[in-house]
Structure 1
């Protein structure tokens, strides 16, 4: 083991890290939390206490402890990445509703609208992540870049909320409603948590 690994409190076997991250991507389970040093996991837990859904925040972000270490910006990037991944999963779940038998024209139109909304939300989150990338290491215009990050995040939240607006005044089956609502709620919570972490970021 090299000297850098000996001095880094958050380093551990890279192969184990990569394998476990792949498991997390597939199952969204915090399998790395118990393997990361407490310095890293405690930082994430403390940071998550400021979010709207602290338990979900810690569960979704603790697997990133070895790479985040104790970096607030790194934690925000991880939160955005997790949210984008969840939004893509939601997009897949909602899209599969169109394949179900018995879907009415009204339901199909509502599903289509939601797919477009979630797709727009993903684009917004990507722009926010891009702006965060520009913020890291920036020596000037930090406030402008942070404003961009928050603007894109707010747009993502609006798009996610719009996903269920199509229910109003329409005859939609409980199955379609519940599937869309539950999927949308999941990414809405993650987006809210990510924005909370960003709002507490000192630039």
Structure 2
């Protein structure tokens, strides 16, 4: 009788161990599967943008926080764009401080610094307006979305104005290329963010 109890007890422990192992395996599979679902959501959403590969590259690290929420994805896109715009402002400001610039170069860069600064303010206004969409209060969401798109369009205009400011001015190729490449990166991110916002339903 004692021998039977020991055997039965051993079998019980083995069964428990197998069940726990199976449960851990299933949990692991689910955990591995979930991030793929999130990254696939970002990849699919980015396909609607002007620059899909840049969109995915800039937003894939936000997969865990965005999950499959379109509004959170738009907020992430705006956050990334604002940071890029700040980096561009830093780059252009350093160029403005360089010695040996011609008066034309100094004037063009100064205008560009102002344009990028305005663009950052407009992007921040867009992000602020986006925050109102998640409000539980009775807000005019159509008005908020219209405001977001207006601010975004204004930001794109300011970014374009920066590079247009170099046209017809005697500016060295190296200075022009540095500014243009920096601004172009922000302009692409802004365009992508606006595309995602245009596809947002609320």
Q: From the two aligned structures, give the one with the greater helix fraction.
A: 2
Listed as ranges, the gaps of 5+ residues in structure 2 are 1-26
TM (norm. structure 1) is 0.81
Partners in 2 of 1:57 and 1:36 — Cα distance? 21
Pick one of 67, 70, 73 that aligns with 1:75: 73
In 2, distance between residues paired with 1:193 and 1:125? 13
Q: Per-residue deviation at 1:95?
A: 0.8
Identify the residue that residue 174 of structure 1 maps to in structure 2: 173
Aligned length: 173
1:36 Cα deviation from its structure 2 partner? 7.0
Counterpart secondary structure, 1:92:
helix
8 Å CA contact 2:132, 2:139 repeated in 1: no
> 1:35–1:53: structure 2 CA closer, same or farther, 3 Å change rule?
farther
Partners in 1 of 2:94 and 2:104 — Cα distance? 16
Structure showing greater radius of gyration is 2
Of 101, 104, 107, the residue aligned with 1:106 is 104
Listed as ranges, the matches of 1:103-142 within 5 Å are: 103-138=101-136, 139-142=138-141
Find the counterpart in structure 2 of residue 158 from structure 1.
Answer: 157
Give the match for residue 184 of structure 1: 183
SS of 2:55's equivalent in the other structure is helix
Pair 146,49 (structure 1): closer, same or farther in 2 beyond 3 Å: same
TM-score, normalised relative to structure 2? 0.82
Aligned to 2:88: 90
